[in-house]
Amino acid sequence: MAIDKAEYKRILDTHGRRVANRTLHASLPLYDRGGIGNFYACYAPEDKLPEHEHSRTGMVYEFDPTGWFKFYRDPSTAQKIEELKQDPLCAVWLDWWLNGDKKIKAIAPGFFSIAHKPEAELLATIEGLESDGFQWWADALLNLTEDDLTSIRRIVSIFAIPPEWPEPNSPEAEALLQETKISKSGI
């Protein structure tokens, strides 16, 4: 059950906007947590917030209901990413995602998520995309080779726990923020 407005306001006043947003996010059912906008409302840099909404207790560095800090502070994560870069095809897909234009950066996580599905589910998704008028997505997915799918699945296996988006305040994150136009009114 989601926290109520009074509890949200109390947490905002005590710990700041990011902690209040994380508390709200953690209290929502999984299906109702939203996408990238909600994620950045929880983890984007505080310097973009009004001064009175900054963390005052340090809880912004401690309270991590999505596991974001744990994931990126784990030295094995960086090692896994470096290993991916050594695989030529993984390197191509990582480069497509991380160095593409802002539209590519915005769609790559969704594209990778779809491509990561088991074959039967992937084919059903492609059929659904075609019938819903998303022919570009369907064509792109149909043109993936087995090696492409293997590389994408390796990438997703690293980034799937828990974040699906680039690190807050990185150029990749800024491109996604521009694309999604996050509301300034919290989550």
In this prediction, residue 185 carries a pLDDT of 34
Note the pLDDT tens digit of each residue in 24-62: 988 887 667 766 677 778 887 888 899 999 988 888 888
CA–CA distance from 28 to each of 65, 79, 141, 165 (Å)? 11, 33, 32, 20
Q: For residue 122, what pLDDT is reported?
A: 79
Query: Is 152 within 8 Å of 168 (Cβ atoms)?
Result: no
Q: What is the pLDDT of residue 16?
A: 93
Low-confidence ranges of the chain (pLDDT < 50): 161-164, 179-187
Contacts of the segment 84-88: beta carbons below 8 A, 24+ positions apart: 84/154, 84/155, 84/158, 87/151, 87/154
Whether the Cβ atoms of residue 65 and residue 22 lie closer than 8 Å to each other? yes
Q: Report the C-alpha gap between 154 and 112 in whole angstroms.
A: 10
